[in-house]
Amino acid sequence: MTTEIHPTAIVDPSAELGEGTIVGPYCVIGSGVILGPGCRLHNHVTLAGPSEIGPRNEFFPYASVGQRSQDLKYVGEPTFLQVGEGNVFREFCTVNRGTAPGSFTKIGDQGNFLAYTHIAHDCTVGDHVIFSNNGTLAGHVIVEDHAIIGGLTAVHQFCRIGAHAITGGCSKVVQDVPPFMVADGNPAKVRAINTVGLKRRGYTEETIQDIKKAFRILYREQRNTSESLIELEALPDRSTEIDYLIAFVQTSERGIA
């Protein structure tokens, strides 16, 4: 495979382009950008560095990835962006590098980031995520594997979105959303478990029932979080999913939605 660069594109001499990468019209690739093989930039895409972007990532028009942090504390120190493989960044997506010297924004593999989504400085985004249009992360947010960010969802800085969780459209997330849950509203509250998503990903009915039981303990019985955790830890023959849920809640610094 040969690398193709449209004559109207501007590529910094220090940028590294993997074999088979296609750079379309009017794209700009800045210094310190490393692209893996098989990437495609459609047109009017801007990639800034230092950024290391893995293979087979696709960037649609006007995506701007790897720009400096928007945090006012940032004064030009070297910070970084790491992107895995097989992601899709649709029109007008923006991704910023870290803020503190040497810090990273990190994105995993096989994510689908729809138009106008924003990933701010120092965020960590896992694998197989979906960000619907205008899904927005403030700084230092963690989004775990297989999570879905609903359209026009805004996530407060330092929040976490657990694996297999989903947020409803137009939600305002100001606390952690535990794994497997559905959160919706302003401010977002957990409403149910993500039954449809769990079935699509092959979870057994037995495991889904275990997660439903944990949901009832956390959200439907009149206990505070500490009391609910005690009851969850007392469940016999807990599944690994319940152990994961317990650990997520125990380590929450902002509290759970």
Annotation says 98 is catalytic: no
Annotation says 139 is catalytic: yes
- Whether the Cβ atoms of residue 157 and residue 172 lie closer than 8 Å to each other: no
For residue 155, what is the enclosing H or E element?
strand 154-155
Instruction: Return the ∠ at Cα 154 (arms to 153 and 158), rounded to 5°.
Output: 135
The active-site residue, picked from 121, 140, 146, 156, is: 121
The region that residue 218 occupies, defined by phi over 0 for left and psi between -120 and 50 for alpha, beta otherwise, is alpha
**Tokens 């947020």 correspond to what residue?**
167
The active-site residue, picked from 30, 111, 139, 168, is: 139
- Whether the Cβ atoms of residue 71 and residue 90 lie closer than 8 Å to each other: no
Which of 48-70 are b and which e, b meaning 16 or more Cβ less than 10 Å from the residue's Cβ?
Answer: bbbbbbbbbbbbbbbbbbbbebe
The active-site residue, picked from 71, 109, 122, 127, is: 122
Annotation says 122 is catalytic: yes
Which positions are annotated as active-site residues? Answer: 121-122, 139
